[in-house]
Structure 1
Amino acid sequence: MKKLSASIWALCGLWAGAAGAQALPTAVPASQASYYNAQGRLVAHADSADHREEMVFQSPAGGQLRIYYPSGRLRREVAYLDFTQRIKQGPETSYYETGEVKSRCRYQNDVPVEPYVQYYRSGSVRCRTNLKSGFFGNSGVAFTPEGKPLKYDRQTQVKPTLNGGGDQVIVAAVASRVSYPPDALLQQKSGRVFATFLVDDAGFVRNVRILKSPSPLFNATVLDAVRALGRFEPGKMLGEPVDIFFTIPVSFKLQ
């Protein structure tokens, strides 16, 4: 017998990714475009797409992932060492549709090595989140547009929702998609997997990572479950959509 359970924390500042890169082709082109619908699902043609994402190859395995607004303007760009393995190496920057920097972070071998900083259009810091230690070391600060420390409450910040529901709906959606790996059952493995992900300012799931796991055998099913969540209603700070991080522990128990 097996039992699965999950619970959740979220963080954007203090609330305590991504559309999947496609497999590398045999002959590496200069770039490769993919198209996604309004729910973040891969579609075959631009005519049925909400937006496009483009891999620009700077080596046989990696380069820049560029994500665009439906208008065609650049929305986010991420440096990858390896697209297939989803290993980030370098800066990740998002932009307002009018071109100003909206957020910035830097990764080394897929680990964030700088705080995740979000900005107002003016260039002043909106919030700064420390991701270096995952959930266990998360800390963040936020500011008003004038630079004053921002007190967190339901009026200043609203968490993302999924299909109209909050944490319980998100937990149930993840748990329903997780299966106990057969090899883990054979080896009598159990324990909790901690995964983190970003719900970006448009509601798409990105930056899905495993923070801690009792066995690599569990990781794939948890990652796949989170990536399959679909599009959220994005979180907001002072009424404006922002990026918000979640950390989910998923329990695998043998009975």
Structure 2
Amino acid sequence: MKFSLILILTVCSLTTYAQRRISLYYDSAWALNSKAQASYFRNAWIDTTYYVFLGPVLDYYVEGKLAMQGKYVAGKKSGTFTFYYLNGEKKIQGDFQDNQMVGIWNYFYPDGIPKQSIAYTDNDFKVLSYHDKGGTQKVKDGNGLWEGFYFSHTIKDTIHITGNVKNGFKDGWWVYFDDSGIRLYEEKYKDGKFKSGKTYTSSGAVTGKINTPLGKKVLMPHSISYTERFVYAPNVIKNEYPYLKFLPDEVKQYFDQNWKKCDKDKATYYRITNEVNAESTSGNITDFWMNDNIYRKGRYINGKKKGYFVYYHESGNTKSEGRYSNDKRVGAWKYYYEDGSPWQNVYYEKGQRYVDQYWNEQGKLKVDLGSGEYEDIYEYNSITLREIGSFTEYQKDGIWKGYTQEGELYFEERYKNGELLQAHSFDEEGNKIPYQKKIEYAAPSDGLDAFYKFVEKEMKYPTYTRQKYIQGKVLIKVVVDKNGKLLEAKAISSPHQVLSEEAVSVVKKYNKWKSGKEMGKPVQMFFIIPLTYDLSGSPASTFN
């Protein structure tokens, strides 16, 4: 009896020693991040030996508003958990038992209107009621068409779900789409019982079968699953959370003005990441000027910018801010001068750029509601150009001119209602070089039809990938110099190396290319060719 008591006391002492009251900071995706990148933070007790949460847990928005409250018992979720919107309205509420969602969970819209009621069973869930955003009841008494979504840790994107319920149970086909509407997988049910399932490629071809349904795990709040796994952003280092021993050490990467990696003495920027994620292309990123001021903050998904970004001048003042989608600027962007005063407000839509407002350096509003006199300074082919012209109702109008830093006329263009009527640039001797488009892309010189015929004739489906049922799209980066010579062809994305090698060999065989042009002048240019291998028919090719 005495020995048992001593043993218990010893264990309690060790457990107490491993506990720590902490504050953890999370980015917008609920990945552990630095305080500067935080969208949320958590106050909780943690066992720093086993890395589990203990006791009450409180999550907050960075603004200080409560985001979630719940409790852990011996590292497992227990009792009622409540989630809140930033405006204070209840978002989700339900119970956990032994780490599992149990009973009825209620979900709400930001205005407090009920969204849905879900009953969680051992391995799945039943939909009791569901209202869409417009207030229409789509599921009543467990019958109707249900729509939901969850965040996928695998593809780092939001997955949309749609399917019918009958008496609360899943019935018929349930379909899962990504954010762009591409079908990923399907599950078939009969009165709540899983019958079959299949997965798809981005081109819509079936790639395999699903033997185990996704079940109720898809509705686990994203913040719970990420924080419990201690998922951390690429830039997080051990110095920021010294009690989290699993975090990697710091790695500092240096880049030149063109964002190519270089030595420190040649660098314009640097990025702090860690030894594990030094080459990562996903996650929240903060880049710095060499004077340690922030250059930009934002999020990358598979190497492409997505969501809200902020850029800064070397002085530390904001330079621009707005959103990206698939690496392209979209929606409203604001730009600022070095001193922080407004420069221009621009709207991006369907690849077009519309200037809504523009202020000159003296602070005078020169363009308003898309009309007025405009001036811009930018880098073009390693040359600093000053462009001057006028907008009328968001469209270029009249004569537009571009000058070098030395004041020499570089180009002249004439527009009417946004349409380019006449344009020319100048060579080194001052001779005019006419052009109809600012950019003419490099392409097959005999046209796309001839290129397609060549590819269809030469491209073979490798035996190995055919036998293994490997198919999909190979993206080939093609570089053509200013003389129309092919400099490079390499695969940048592919379902398999064997398909990459075959596709690249076909492109290299083709020897009829024309160079790209910018303002009428031949330049070296790269572009992407997608070649698709599809087992449902003959290899198909497309060209972008």
Q: What's the TM-score once normalised by structure 1's chain length?
A: 0.48
Bigger CA radius of gyration: 2
Question: Which structure ranks higher in relative contact order (CA pairs < 8 Å, sequence separation ≥ 6)?
Answer: 1
* Structure whose residues are more often strand by fraction: 2
Q: What's the TM-score once normalised by structure 2's chain length?
A: 0.25
